[in-house]
A and B are shown apart, each in its own frame.
Chain A
């Protein structure tokens, strides 16, 4: 599998289920890049929006901003370079039993947890950030996304 196959296998409606803030792209005018979107998930970022049915629902604890920065940088490197350090991740992806969005995001998240020193229980949070990056990668296309995020 290569990056093109990987991207072709990702379903945006599945990404929405992994990271609900992806809806912000449709409903807010100020979501231009992954950083804007991720800011609704991390501490000190934007606050969530409500038409709530009870007090405080949806106000679960936020993720550390540092986690976003680390995941974003790793994802950019994974998607925009051919770095050997992701060889193991490609092998994992190629060996997936089912090639679905959830399986792909879970594999990437578990790999990043291990690589970045997060416990496996953090995989759900990491997965939300992974979904955000994949969403913009799909929206912009590899060339544009990688050009914008070229450090």
Chain B
């Protein structure tokens, strides 16, 4: 199953999706096909289906036309190919898009077209729902992951305002990353028993938004999952184990690197040494990704990103995890102003910028103060 959604924040359209592809075949593929699962962990979710791999489900057809799909993979891909052939250089009408989609009940589509400088969101298939709620001008979603979107509406409405965000597009993207960060955290903890995988979506997420005059994929995201505890002195201590997932899209190929690590020791509060326990890479070309790539597809010195999504789980608290998201000009700026990762042999070191750490610690303490 899947999750796809289209939303507009003050007329800025955003399309999101998960990456998971499932099959009813449950006799094969036991290696980690998605970053949230490890080798040797069960990929058979129940007796009816198993995880098959990952695929991008959002296609930027041209600068003014983006479409996401759900349903039967082969049927959807044929329709996407046909849309690419017909509309590579055109802004289509909704009618001409629907004509290409045809009448299959096995697929769903959500798309956004910028026509006369005016964004429009539309969809195909009866399962699509619409909501008008605070924060959104319009929200359309489909797939069995719909429940997660409904739950996330609360997150969107109740989340603390994102700081240092200059414009609305970044704020909107941060809201989506906030949701993804929590969904992936849940999946990293509960693995095959997570609600996401049980509902047949997840694995990773993708977001495309309209800015600077065209649709663009958010192409540089780091999710960092950390365990922490609050000391008797009322400070934060990072320890236990964690995961770093970096997602980089270049020339329409999405690269993902997942690093699982265990803390060895803190040199001081802001400098942490960890041992890498797992280091997997994936590439999502136009094809379906059904296995890890043997090569490191994202370099050791490029683990920070424009969007830094830190998710902290404080032990002993029933308050869940806290997501801390910031946007930077680029990876180098993120490394300088938030966390610098140094990866050597089987070790990964973190060096927090002093100001970033202070603010990060303050936010965690505030979040968990009760």
Contact = CB atoms under 8 A, between A and B. Distances in A.
B25 A47 contact: yes
Interface in B16-30: 18, 20-25
A8 interface: no
B74 A53 contact: no
A24 interface: yes
B255 interface: no
Contacts of A47: 23-25
Interface stretch (B77-85, B150-158, B336-344): B77-85
B75 interface: yes
Nearest to A12: B81
A51 B287 contact: no
A12 to B, nearest CB: 9
A29 B24 CA distance: 19
A47 B105 CA distance: 19
Contact of B78 (A17, A50, A51, A58): A17
B330 interface: no
Give the interface residue-count category, chain B.
Answer: 35 or more
Interface string A74-118: 000000000000000000000000000000000000000000000
Interface in A14-54: 16-17, 20-24, 26-29, 40, 46-54
Query: Which of B18, B49, B106: most chain A CB closer than 10 A?
Result: B106
Contact of B74 (A21, A54, A55, A57): A21
A29 B2 contact: no
Contacts of B290: 28-29
A51 B34 CA distance: 14
Nearest to B18: A51
B24 A48 contact: yes
B287 A53 contact: no
A51 B77 contact: no
B55 A59 contact: no
Interface stretch (B35-43, B64-72, B132-140): B64-72
A13 interface: yes
Given A28-B287, A28-B288, A29-B287, A52 B74 contact: no
B125 A51 contact: no
B52 interface: yes
B23 A50 contact: yes
Contacts, number: 114
B286 interface: yes
B72 A57 contact: yes
B78 A16 contact: yes
B246 interface: no
A17 to B, nearest CB: 7
A27 B52 contact: no
B73 A54 contact: no
Contacts of A13: 81-82, 85
B74 A40 contact: yes
Contacts of B105: 57
Given A29-B287, A51-B21, A54-B127, A22 B144 contact: no
Query: Which of A21, A47, A51: most chain B CB closer than 10 A?
Result: A51
B72 A50 contact: yes
Contacts of A26: 77, 81, 286-287
Nearest to A22: B78
B142 A49 contact: no
Contacts of B81: 13, 16, 23, 26
Contacts of A21: 74
A146 B345 CA distance: 52
14 contacts: A20-B74, A21-B74, A27-B286, A27-B287, A40-B74, A48-B74, A49-B73, A50-B200, A51-B57, A51-B71, A52-B71, A53-B1, A53-B142, A58-B71
Q: Which 4 A-B pairs have the closest CB atoms?
A: A58-B72, A23-B77, A58-B106, A51-B2
